[in-house]
């Protein structure tokens, strides 16, 4: 679905695409980020200082109900908040680093194959799917390995004085 067809879909439902709604839809679509409502509000306020939180929440609810925006929890990395993205993209998986919160999107044939396998195996027609994968990005894996090594070395150093004291006593 293109941004133009999203706007057309709103018009078909009798929903006026106000300037403020347009700002929110553009931000969700064009930032390349997964924005929560508060971040979306802050960014939109930069474009229109008159915009308020109520407008943001009502617009998100309307866009979600209209099937134009997906609400994601992204492995609850940020707590209970939700993140939003337009349904313009092809099916993809969200790959979330559980340490730093970095979110990558994976597009590829394996997702389509999995979808076909599920439909075939269960005789199921999939209308919507969300795939989230949690783990550690390369940078955080390096940091974790360093921390584990430092903890291990600290434990070895702490153990040495105890051994020496027990030999003396």
- Tokens 């970095």 sit on residue: 102
**What does pLDDT average to over the chain?**
85
| Domain 1-89 annotated CATH 1.10.10.10 | yes
- In angstroms, the Cα distances linking 160 to 68, 165, 169 are 62, 9, 15
**Cβ-based neighbours of 31, under 8 Å, separated by 6 or more:** 43
- The yes-or-no verdict on residue 1 having pLDDT over 60 is no
Per-residue confidence band for 69, with pLDDT thresholds at 50, 70 and 90: confident
Single pTM value for the model: 0.69
| Among candidate residues 96, 80, 164, the one with its CA nearest the CA of residue 130 | 96
- Per the CB < 8 A criterion, the answer to whether 78 and 96 are in contact is no
CA 168 to chain centre: 58
**What DSSP state is assigned to residue 90?**
P
Residue 152's pLDDT is 87
Domain ranges of the chain: 1-89, 91-135, 138-169
Going along 76-157, which residue ranges are E strands?
83-86, 93-97, 103-106, 131-135
Antiparallel, parallel or unpaired: β 83-86 and 93-97: unpaired
Tens of pLDDT, residue by residue over 96-106, are 999 998 999 89
C-alpha–C-alpha distance, residues 158 and 85, integer Å: 50
**What DSSP state is assigned to residue 153?**
H
32 Rama class: left (phi>0) / alpha (psi -120 to 50) / beta: left
Q: Which CATH superfamily is domain 91-135 in?
A: Ferric-uptake regulator, C-terminal dimerisarion domain (3.30.1490.190)
- Report the percentage of the chain scoring pLDDT > 70: 88
**Cβ-based neighbours of 4, under 8 Å, separated by 6 or more:** none
Of the two residues 164 and 51, the one the predictor is more confident about is 51
- The yes-or-no verdict on residue 61 having pLDDT over 80 is yes
Tens of pLDDT, residue by residue over 118-132, are 999 999 999 878 889
Residue 167's pLDDT is 62
Residue 34's pLDDT is 87
């Amino acid at each position: 679905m293109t941004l133009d067809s999203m706007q057309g879909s709103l018009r078909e439902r009798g929903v006026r695409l106000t300037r403020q709604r347009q700002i929110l839809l553009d931000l969700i679509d064009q930032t390349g980020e997964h924005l929560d409502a508060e971040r979306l509000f802050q960014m939109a306020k930069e474009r229109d200082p008159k915009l308020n939180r109520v407008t943001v929440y009502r617009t998100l609810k309307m866009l979600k109900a209209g099937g134009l925006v997906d609400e994601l929890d992204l492995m609850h990395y940020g707590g209970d908040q939700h993140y939003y993205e337009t349904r313009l993209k092809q099916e993809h998986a969200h790959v979330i680093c559980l340490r730093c919160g970095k979110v990558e999107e994976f597009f590829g044939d394996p997702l389509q194959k999995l979808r076909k396998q599920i439909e075939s195996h269960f005789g199921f027609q999939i209308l919507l799917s969300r795939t989230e994968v949690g783990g550690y990005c390369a940078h955080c894996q390096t940091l974790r390995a360093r921390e584990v090594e430092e903890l291990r070395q600290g434990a070895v150093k702490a153990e040495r004085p105890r051994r020496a004291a027990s030999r003396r006593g």
